[in-house]
Amino acid sequence: MKTLKNLLKIVPLLACAYAGSAQALTINFTYDPAMDARALAGFQTAANRWQNVLHDNVQVNLNIAFAALNPGVLGSTSSTQGTVSYAGFRQALINDAKTTTDLAAIANLPAGPCMSVMMNGTGINPAGSGNIATFVDNNCNENNRTIRATWANFRALGLIPDSDKRSDGSISFSSGFASIFDFDPTDGIGAGMIDFIGVATHEIGHALGFISGVDTLDLNRSGGFSDALFTYIAPADVFRCSPASKAAGADIDWSADNRDKFFSLDNCTTTLSIFSNGRTNGDGQQASHWKDNRGIGILDPTAARGELLAISQMDLMMFDAIGWDVPEPASIALFSLGAAALAGSRRRKQKQA
C-alpha cells in the first residue's frame, strides 16, 4: 500500500538497463472498460517496467480499478496467496538460482525443515502472554516450517503450473486522488501532483511478492494466540534480521516492535538495506516496505507530491533473492548508473509549465 507524504523527498533514480532475453514476465490486466484511458496506459507502462527487468517466463493476472480508499491512501493491493513448506521453498530457490545474489541467498539459509524465529507476543512468550519482549521460537511447529507467498511469487519459483490462470491479485487506486495524479513522468512530476505510474509500479511490486507477515503479528501481538497460528512468514521475511536476532542464534527477526530490521543475505553479517517495521507497534509504516525517508526504492511506503518514483537496484536485489529472475548484467548496469541518475533526479522532479 502506498500512502501520501506531505514533504518532498529526492529518490535515487536508477535506469533499468538489462540484456535482452527470450523469456520475460507478462502482466495481464482485467479492468472496467470505462477506466480512464490515461490510467490504463499508466498501468501498462508500470507493468512494462517490471517486464523489462524480471525475466521469468510466467503470466501474472491482475485486476485493476479505482475505488474509495481510506484517507491518505493512494493505492492498495490485495494479492492471492498460498503456502509451501520452508523446505520446499528453499529447494525452489536452489532450483531457480542463477545470479550471485541467488547463490549468496541460498548459501546462508538454514538447511533443515524449520527456521528459528525471533518474535514477540503470542501465548508462548516466556515473559508472559502477548508480551512485547522478544524470544526465540525454535519449536519447529507450523509457523517455523511454513512460507506464505503471493501466487505470482510462486509462479516465478515454478511452484504454480502454467495452466493455472486464476487472478494473482487486485489493485485499487483511490478515486479521491484522481485529480492530482500525473500520468506522464517523461517531463517530470508536476508540483502538487502524484506520480501515477510510480505508484502503480509500487502496487504491482506487492502483488509480485514484496510482502511481510510481520504485519499480521503486528496487528495481533497482544492477543495471546498460539505461535503455530502465525503461518505468515513471507519470502522477504526470510532475509529479515537484526543484530539481536543474530546474537540470539535466530535465523530471522520476525518481531513486531520498533527496533531496526535489516535486509541481509547472510543473517546480518552484512546488511544491505532496512525495512519498515509495523504500523501498530513499529515505526508507523507497514512492514512490507523499505524504511521510509531513506529513498531506498519503489517499495518505499510513501510518495510525496512532485516525486518521481523508480525501481532501484535494491528493489531488484530483493526480487532476485525471493525467486524472480533478474539478469546479472541488469544489476551491474543499475549500480553503475545510480550516481548519474541521482545527480539528475532533482531536475526531473519539477514538471515544466
Per-residue pLDDT tens, the chain, 353 aa: give them. Answer: 655 443 323 233 333 333 344 468 999 999 988 899 999 999 999 999 999 999 999 999 999 998 888 888 888 899 999 999 999 999 999 999 999 999 999 999 999 999 999 999 999 999 999 999 999 999 999 999 999 999 999 999 999 998 999 999 999 998 888 899 999 999 999 999 999 999 999 999 999 999 999 999 999 999 899 999 999 999 999 999 999 999 999 999 999 999 999 999 999 999 999 999 999 999 999 999 999 999 999 999 999 999 999 999 999 999 999 999 998 854 444 433 333 333 333 222 333 22
Pairing of strands 26-31, 59-67: parallel
Element housing 275 (H / E) = none
Distance separating alpha carbons of residues 65 and 167, to the nearest angstrom: 14
pLDDT of residue 192: 95
Which residues form the domain of 227?
2-349
Q: Is 322 helix (H, G, I), strand (E, B) or coil?
A: coil
Cβ neighbours for 265, distance < 8 A, ≥ 6 positions apart: 101, 104, 105, 108, 239, 272, 321
Model-wide pTM > 0.75: yes
In the numeric block, which cell numbers belong to residue 262?
Answer: 535489516
Distance separating alpha carbons of residues 290 and 239, to the nearest angstrom: 13
Cβ neighbours for 155, distance < 8 A, ≥ 6 positions apart: 56, 58, 59, 60, 164, 168
Distance separating alpha carbons of residues 101 and 343, to the nearest angstrom: 27
Backbone angles phi, psi at 117, to 5 degrees: -120, 120
Task: Answer positive or negative: Cα dihedral of 111, 117, 118, 124.
Answer: negative
Domain count, the chain: 1
Could you tell me how many helices (H) and strands (E) the chain has, helices first?
9, 16
Q: How far is CA 252 from CA 87, 121, 334, in A?
A: 15, 16, 28
Q: Identify whether the C-beta of residue 205 lies closer than 8 Å to the C-beta of residue 62.
A: no
- Tell me the residue type at 197: I
Distance separating alpha carbons of residues 277 and 290, to the nearest angstrom: 9
First to last CA, the chain: 30
Backbone angles phi, psi at 179, to 5 degrees: -75, -15
Q: How far is CA 26 from CA 32, 49, 241, 342, in A?
A: 20, 11, 32, 29
Distance separating alpha carbons of residues 251 and 233, to the nearest angstrom: 12
- Tell me the residue type at 122: T
* Closest of 117, 317, 156, 118 to residue 236, by C-alpha: 317
Backbone angles phi, psi at 346, to 5 degrees: -65, -40
C-alpha torsion angle, residues 164, 165, 169, 172 (rounded to 10)? 180
Neighbours of 164 (CB within 10 A): 12
Distance separating alpha carbons of residues 298 and 302, to the nearest angstrom: 9
Q: Is 20 helix (H, G, I), strand (E, B) or coil?
A: coil
Q: How far is CA 291 from CA 261, 279, 287, in A?
A: 9, 12, 8
